[in-house]
Structure 1
Amino acid sequence: MKWLSCSAVLSGVVASVRRHVGRTRGRSLVVGPEAVVDLRLWGKERGLGGARYPLACHGLDAAAAVRALWHGFVAPGMRERLATAVGVPESEACALFEFWAALHDIGKASPSFACQLEMPEEFPPDVPEVRLRHDVAAHLWLPSGLERIGYARKRATSVGRRVAQLLGGHHGTFHAFEGRNLRPESLPELGLGRAPVWEAERTALVELLAGVLAPPSPARLPPIDAAVLAGLVVLADWLVSQTGFVRSQLPRVPQVGDVSSLRTFFDGSLEPVRALVEQAGLSRTHLRDGAFAEEFPRFPPNALQASIARELPGLVTGPGLLMVAAPMGFGKTETALHAARLMGQAAGTSGLFVALPTMATADQMFSRVARYLSRRGEGETSQALLHGMAWLSPVEEILAGARAAEGISSDEESRVSFAEWLRGAKRGLLAGIGVGTIDQALLAVLPVRHNALRMFSLAGKTVVIDEVHAFDTYMRGLLKDLLSWLGELGVPVVLLSATLPRVVADELVTAYTGQPAAADAAVPYPGWLYVERGGTPELQPVQYPDDRRRPVEVKLRGVAQDAEKQVDRVPVLREVLAPVAEDGGCAAVICTTVAHAQGTYSGLREWVRHHGVQLLLLHSRFPARQRERITQQVLGLFGKPGDATHGNRPLRTVLVATQVVEQSLDLDLDLVVSDLAPIELLLQRAGRLQRHPDWDVHRPAWADPARGGNRRLVVLTAPDQDVRKIPGVWSYIYPLASLVRAHSLIKLHEHAPIRIPEDVQDLVDRGSSGILPNFDDELLCGFAEAEHQRAAGCMVEAQTAKRFSIGTSSELRNLAGLSAKQIDEERATTRFNADSERVLPYFLRRDGEIRLGGPDGEPLPVPTCDRLTREQAVAIMRHSIPYRAPSFAAATTDTCS
């Protein structure tokens, strides 16, 4: 075994540090020059070829990482907040946080850890029967250790205990204090070492690190800020624990662990660590100032965008919440990006996270944000795509394509990339710009490991959450807890929705501000609301352009059911799609389930052949590669002119799909036929009708307003339009009461078209209820029991969210609350009753060969050295499909033929 650092003089000087030499002098902790720590106490050895890296050196590396992150990554607003939280000037706060980070592994100065390898005889291996993990050891010992350098320890909320919990949680799990663990005399029996040398070395290490870093004395440490600082410590530790970096530091290890030698070591680590942080892609994101027209020069701002650009700058004085409610296709994405920049500048944030409900919406948004960032970014920044299948996406190609689309050469100042280090588990949210599913943010309020790192990742950003109306009661419960944290941490938030009930909007405003929403503070539709914590909401209605105020004709059509109560849409569809067959046009048929979409597609194939109609099928269970190809085809047919994917608008085309087209794709259609669904979802689907009326596209007479046509929404309902016969599978997917309400509301508009935007908010409010039951006899038609069941289901979801969540920021008393109900991240769910697996359909040929994608598809990749290459893994996963876990478990076959 190779010893890294050993000196014959150490045994003689260890005794000299038995006395306490560190005291608070003024605002800084000062240590005498005689303090020495034994460098044979090691912190790292894995991957070092038998060498050992001293614990003190690793601690100072972490301190150097905090300094690099503080000055180059942590947002200005967050630096100011954290300094205020601990009661020290911002100019001194970094030294304090460096000191804390340097202590994170002090639990390794214990026999349970150190004696895993052979140690000199001065360090007796008095290991208890149950080894004490080093993070727990730090948690137990630091209250008394910090007390010796002036930290108060008598109260449960003392800074010393908070720091101990903070550092004891650096492996992602926070620990609680128990009565006997608070007595210093109990610590040896708990596994911290009975021999005096262990206590002496830990004390010497604290005093020596204080001497090197000269931290100020903190006045306080609120628990919510301690959680954010825990994320900073975790990040610093991860950076400097990389084997390659530790190897590069080995030649610099000093021979003696005194203050002077280790100060020299620390000073020499600052530049390598700064370079390490930069290489990891951790930097502040800077966006150029400019008017809306400068940020989005391809089109003039519409009424909503002009209103935000004109009014918001005068309202923003710090962190706040912006809620935008506007019809589909009204430029909410561009509005959000412009507003997020304004709000971020006022709040001192330096990054952005855009959260969406599905992977498909995230994929679409990633490209749009990439183009915006390529156009408006300054200097180096990173952009990450964040969802469970993001690793399959060619992110670098998308980023390069965004630069090319914006006409930006590779030698210009702006650089956007997705650094390799950020692609590791749990790191992507640290990227300057993140686009992903809302799940990535909601995990911050679930008791999973490293939830504090996720909260730290969000704390310095502006957060945009799109399609808020798409969240069920369970997800909204988690979202409300997240908003309480973001509001308390001073994170600006933008919420976007096309169909948001007022009761839900009030809940979200209350969650962020921490105070009940005013009765007259409803978000105007279309329009926006802006509010800061402790402030009064500002409401701004927006005038909807007259040329977009075309009504939507709606009709109810009953479907047939066979003897087994299977829905047969085809007879009705042949009738309602007849205008497409006769005069042309683009239509979509949206079914409730994948099986229904597949059956409908099969049932229409013969009809379309006789009428020259192109027929397409899109749903979520296509293999990833096939779904991607079909999605691009659909965008090319119905997408926005000028997009790279757009081709010629087809003459006669019908798309059969599931809810994937409800939010995921920017499509322009002439007719939408939809299964009965909650009214807010029907309105979302109607938003695909002539979504961009100013496009120069050919429309048939029946759909052309200039020739007396109109947009058409046909809602397929129960047989004979008798809501008592609503198909069971529909009421399994959606609450029966919501379907009955939607049926009644659509019926009211069969002779009076739905006016957009005038009728939208009233329809959404009447068709959507809160957790408590709402008995509207006009809409429910005697379905009181169904409303009771709907309300009970909402209560179950709300209570489940409350049970799983870490709670609101005001409920946090100590950091142990973040881990009290800890669950594995793989088992954590951000969606109620929506667990799924990915399965791989394969084809077993007669010759025994396994093929993917069909009998003549590509062979199943064979791993070399028992390990798949990344390219092989990607090839396999592109053939996988999502499948509901209960259905998968019940499956009786695992092959396709």
Structure 2
Amino acid sequence: MPLWSKRQGLDGPYPLISHLLDTAASATALWDHWLRPGLRELIEDSLGPEAQSWVTAAAGLHDLGKANPVFAGQLFAKTAEPWHEGTRRDLVAAGYSLEVPTERLRHLRRHEKVSALELASTDLDYGAPVSGDWLAASALGHHGRFEIPDSHECKAFARSAGGAWHESRDHLRAAITGACGLGTDPEVPEASPAVAVLIAGLVVLADRTASEWHAVQRARGELASGVLNPEDHLRWIEHRTRFFASRLEETLGVYRDFKDARASIAGDFELRPLQQAALTAGAGLWIAMAPTGNGKTEAALLRHAARNERLIFALPTQATTNAMMKRVQNAYNGTGNVAELAHRLATVEDFYAPPAEHRMAGGDGLIPSEFLRNGTARLLAPVSVSTIDQVLAGSLRTKWAHLRLLTLANAHVVIDEAHLMDQYQSALAGQLMTWWGATGTRVTVLSATLPQWQRDRFAQAYDRTWVPAPICFPSHESVPGTPELLTQESYGITVTTRRSDDPVRDHIDWADRMKKQAPQARLGIVVNTVGRAQQVALGLQRAGMDPIVLHSRMTAGHRRDAADRLLTEIGRGGQGTGTVVVGTQAIEASLDIDLDAISTDLAPAPSLIQRAGRAWRHPDPQRALRLPGVHELPLQVITGEGKRGALPYFSSELARVEKHLTGRTRLIMPDESQGFVEASALRLDEVDWTEHEELTDHARRYARAGGVVINTNDLTDPYADLESLMRLTGHDVEEETATRLIEMPSITALTIDPGGRGGVPGAWTGSIGDLEAITPQDRTALRQAMAATVPLNGKLARRALAIANSWNPQSRVLTAMIPVILGQGGIGYDTLLGLVEDGADA
């Protein structure tokens, strides 16, 4: 049979039956070694005792549609290849017709649609139930989207893909179902829509692992040597299943549990109450709310260790993600797990440049995998530490949405600093909670300050039977269940609130006063915008100070250097004195640093509590020497005038915060924490209606969430139709843009400092041509390029786009980025302040 499946990168065709059997074998290995037991049980409950066989068969049948004249004969190929004519002659000689009218060629070019039409039990229209056509749907989605064939494609299938083509597809279908133990003409059972999505994701994954170059080359060699017999389908699957099971260690990785979880995670320290509670948290959704110092991270890991399953640990920023990877890596020391760091600039981080001996040892810490290096694949790793954007993208209508949903359901998902998600992101998370509840996925939500509206949204989405109970703090709560109060010693924060028409000046004056009173004190100034951070830093520099600046408008390399310096000076165990740091929201949930005093812009209550949490974090006998005569954290809160002073927050919300703080000189934590959060929380009906722009912006957050988010309730509806699956998938997205409400356009700029003449930290010092010449294989150069990236939006992004430098990079990773030679288009860089408008006095 001259039907083939793969040619690219090979010196001959790989038979279609071989690829189908390979994919079935790969799916078997995934079922046995990668899929968590809870998902296997869910699929078995839906499909019955032959569930594994049906999953294996679905994977094996996904490319059935390659037995069609347009694919097999490459009749719609854009470029003629030398082997095309010979392949066509062989097909005709074997009795296959290649007579397809020109107008029908494009209607048969999508082989996944041909597969779906062949496997469909109905007419495969929009109203067809998913439960009855899940097998066709699993084939339809294996290239990323569920696109139902239109009437032209259905006619082309009926008129030009019949005869010998149809007979071959029948023969292949019988061969696969027979080899999977189902017989040659089995009746397809119904599957729930949620299970249909899981199987569609598994088919994608099985196809990817079966199509790996190493796997195909291995099979071709074994075909040539006689180890594999293409006529012995059952033995083929058995033999290749063993290969794919062993190969999983090199591709997706197989999760390896802690040898001694208690010792690995908590060391010799006595477990705190929250950590003790984590040991018995069980299945479902667990919400832990406690101030800094309660060991929430360790609690999440201890809960995770109760089951042998993959881990996804999601955090709000790249900085927190990088810092958490180091902590998780330490906990997993000795396990040799495959792991990935998942965010846009991950490849810059040291995790992707371990020593050669570490990589070869295979038994130390966490080890990255080439197979999982890019995009969504990073979440497939046994241990993945990611920005929350990578997780929330699972709720969007994107290409490969079903693979994302499978990935997120096949792990214990930990969401840290959950209160930092705004209304839009909370709507995305709410959809995922519904999916996680339907699939029995363990989810752990960590927060120091979760408002009740957010807790209620997550819990009710996860479990519709959940009955709200009054929130308390600090506490932990299983859903379903009620909160259990934690006891903790109280501490005070001395609060000074100032209303100012010049917040920048007031922050600088505060630092000047503090320096005169306590020269060795560690000072932090946290403001709400990059521009203000730059102005404050410049003022401090002019006053003779040497501030460390940290915000988003710096090169990745510059940010990394600043973060490393902070951790060295004032991180856990740091001995630094006199440090002054100026930053934006990147600091409030970012680094494990310990300041002595803070001055901050007015911000939502959860943010103020988090900012205060960057100070007095650890017992430090040296603090009394650095800050003599002060017995609790001094916190200055500066309120700017008017709506502009509130940006980027709502003035209505900040007015509630200011009202709560007015007349108070002290906050008692954690006793007053939840009351402060609830008193300051803003709901839609509480927006200042006189501020029409603000109301519109608040409503826009809801509207956007409704416009791009999948409806996971469709996936739990037993009567869901194929149109529901079509609404599940869409186009590729840039996760960190699509999951945040930011001013558009939004781009990633590649900053270029020719010859390094400007001394810009992190910037690329070569030419644009040098950047274009970087190959995908040159990891060192790619890391250097990624260190030069800066996220830009709004006016600066428009300036960068207007420069329009010629750009044709070899590496796909760099394609979507915009090269900017510093000095072009009014875009400059200050080695202290970061990216600035060139010529402007920051």
Distance 1:655 1:303, change over 3 A: same
User: Does 2:363 align with 1:392?
Assistant: no
State how many pairs are aligned. 773
User: Does 2:637 align with 1:715?
Assistant: yes
Q: Could you tell me whether the CA contact under 8 Å between 1:100 and 1:167 is conserved in 2?
A: yes
2:2 to 40, 62, 80: 40
Aligned counterparts of 2:604 and 2:783: Cα–Cα separation in 1: 37
User: Does 2:222 align with 1:295?
Assistant: no
- Which whole-Å deviations, capped at 9, do the CAs of 1:95-142 have from their partners, x for residues lacking one? 221111110001111112111143322111133242421011111221
Q: Which residue is 2:566 aligned to?
A: 634
Letter in 1 for 2:342: L
User: Does 2:488 align with 1:544?
Assistant: yes
Q: Which residue is 1:625 aligned to?
A: 557
Q: Which residue is 2:784 aligned to?
A: 875
Aligned counterparts of 2:583 and 2:41: Cα–Cα separation in 1: 50
Aligned counterparts of 2:622 and 2:599: Cα–Cα separation in 1: 21
Q: Which residue is 2:602 aligned to?
A: 676
Q: Which residue is 2:203 aligned to?
A: 233
Aligned counterparts of 2:230 and 2:117: Cα–Cα separation in 1: 26
Pairing of 1:341-380 with structure 2 (within 5 A): 341-342=305-306, 345=307, 350-374=309-333, 377=335, 380=336
User: Does 2:265 align with 1:265?
Assistant: no
Q: Which residue is 2:171 aligned to?
A: 204
1:527 to 475, 484, 491: 475
Q: Which residue is 1:124 aligned to?
A: 97
- Which whole-Å deviations, capped at 9, do the CAs of 1:769-824 have from their partners, x for residues lacking one? 223327xxxxxxxx5524x7655433321221121011124456245434436122
Distance 1:731 1:106, change over 3 A: same
| Partner secondary structure for residue 717 of structure 1 | strand
Deviation at 1:663?
0.4
Pairing of 1:330-345 with structure 2 (within 5 A): 330-342=294-306, 345=307
User: Does 2:509 align with 1:582?
Assistant: no
Q: Which runs of 5+ in 2 are unaligned?
A: 75-83, 803-823, 829-837
Pairing of 1:89-488 with structure 2 (within 5 A): 92-116=50-74, 117=84, 118-119=87-88, 120-121=91-92, 122-127=95-100, 128-132=104-108, 133-144=110-121, 156-157=128-129, 160-176=132-148, 187=154, 189-190=156-157, 193=160, 195-215=162-182, 219-253=189-223, 260-288=231-259, 290=261, 292=262, 295-309=265-279, 312=280, 316=282, 319-342=283-306, 345=307, 350-374=309-333, 377=335, 380-397=336-353, 416-488=366-438
| Partner secondary structure for residue 621 of structure 2 | coil
| Partner secondary structure for residue 742 of structure 1 | helix
Deviation at 1:205?
1.2
- Which whole-Å deviations, capped at 9, do the CAs of 1:264-292 have from their partners, x for residues lacking one? 433443333333323214213323455x4
Q: Could you tell me whether the CA contact under 8 Å between 1:53 and 1:250 is conserved in 2?
A: yes
Q: Which residue is 2:705 aligned to?
A: 801
- Which whole-Å deviations, capped at 9, do the CAs of 1:611-649 have from their partners, x for residues lacking one? xx55322222222112111111111222111xxxx3x23
Letter in 1 for 2:474: P
User: After alignment, is 391-400 or 620-629 more displaced?
Assistant: 391-400
User: Does 2:583 align with 1:657?
Assistant: yes
User: Does 2:41 align with 1:80?
Assistant: yes
Letter in 1 for 2:180: L
Aligned counterparts of 2:326 and 2:69: Cα–Cα separation in 1: 53
Q: Which residue is 1:777 aligned to?
A: none
Distance 1:760 1:57, change over 3 A: same
Distance 1:399 1:440, change over 3 A: farther
Aligned counterparts of 2:773 and 2:630: Cα–Cα separation in 1: 67
Deviation at 1:303?
3.3
Aligned counterparts of 2:167 and 2:652: Cα–Cα separation in 1: 69
Aligned counterparts of 2:285 and 2:157: Cα–Cα separation in 1: 48
Pairing of 1:715-734 with structure 2 (within 5 A): 715-718=637-640, 725-726=641-642, 728=644, 730-734=645-649
Distance 1:662 1:854, change over 3 A: closer
Aligned counterparts of 2:507 and 2:710: Cα–Cα separation in 1: 49
Aligned counterparts of 2:788 and 2:221: Cα–Cα separation in 1: 48
| Partner secondary structure for residue 274 of structure 1 | helix
Distance 1:802 1:431, change over 3 A: same
- Which whole-Å deviations, capped at 9, do the CAs of 1:843-869 have from their partners, x for residues lacking one? 458xxx987728999444854994443
| Partner secondary structure for residue 691 of structure 1 | coil
Distance 1:69 1:844, change over 3 A: closer
Distance 1:325 1:213, change over 3 A: same
Aligned counterparts of 2:304 and 2:232: Cα–Cα separation in 1: 47
Deviation at 1:217?
5.2
| Partner secondary structure for residue 233 of structure 2 | helix
Aligned counterparts of 1:575 and 1:160: Cα–Cα separation in 2: 68
- Which whole-Å deviations, capped at 9, do the CAs of 1:286-316 have from their partners, x for residues lacking one? 23455x466312432233323444xx25xx2
Letter in 1 for 2:112: D
Q: Could you tell me whether the CA contact under 8 Å between 2:126 and 2:723 is conserved in 1?
A: no
Deviation at 1:204?
1.3
- Which whole-Å deviations, capped at 9, do the CAs of 1:349-370 have from their partners, x for residues lacking one? 6111001111111001011011
Deviation at 1:687?
1.5
Q: Could you tell me whether the CA contact under 8 Å between 1:383 and 1:431 is conserved in 2?
A: yes
Distance 1:580 1:113, change over 3 A: same
- Which whole-Å deviations, capped at 9, do the CAs of 1:394-438 have from their partners, x for residues lacking one? 21556999x9xxxxx997966631121111443111100100011
How much identity, in percent, do the aligned residues show? 27
Distance 1:55 1:331, change over 3 A: same
Aligned counterparts of 1:455 and 1:412: Cα–Cα separation in 2: 29
Deviation at 1:389?
0.7
RMSD of Structure 2 on Structure 1 (CA) = 3.2
Distance 1:304 1:400, change over 3 A: farther
Q: Which residue is 1:839 aligned to?
A: 749
User: After alignment, is 820-829 or 798-807 more displaced?
Assistant: 820-829
- Which whole-Å deviations, capped at 9, do the CAs of 1:424-478 have from their partners, x for residues lacking one? 4431111001000111111222111111111111222100000111011111110
Q: Could you tell me whether the CA contact under 8 Å between 2:503 and 2:639 is conserved in 1?
A: no
Deviation at 1:832?
1.5
1:495 to 440, 445, 465: 445
User: Does 2:508 align with 1:573?
Assistant: yes
Letter in 1 for 2:497: L
Q: Could you tell me whether the CA contact under 8 Å between 1:504 and 1:770 is conserved in 2?
A: no
Letter in 2 for 1:581: K
Q: Could you tell me whether the CA contact under 8 Å between 1:124 and 1:195 is conserved in 2?
A: no
**TM-score with structure 1 length normalisation?**
0.80
| Partner secondary structure for residue 514 of structure 1 | coil
Larger Rg: 1
Distance 1:598 1:159, change over 3 A: closer
Aligned counterparts of 2:396 and 2:256: Cα–Cα separation in 1: 27
User: Does 2:500 align with 1:559?
Assistant: yes
1:52 to 2, 9, 13: 13
Aligned counterparts of 2:762 and 2:556: Cα–Cα separation in 1: 18
Q: Could you tell me whether the CA contact under 8 Å between 2:764 and 2:784 is conserved in 1?
A: no
Q: Which residue is 2:624 aligned to?
A: 699
Pairing of 1:790-869 with structure 2 (within 5 A): 790=694, 792-810=696-714, 813-814=720-721, 816-820=723-727, 822-826=730-734, 829-833=738-742, 836-843=746-753, 853=760, 858-860=765-767, 863=770, 866-868=773-775, 869=778
Q: Which residue is 1:603 aligned to?
A: 539
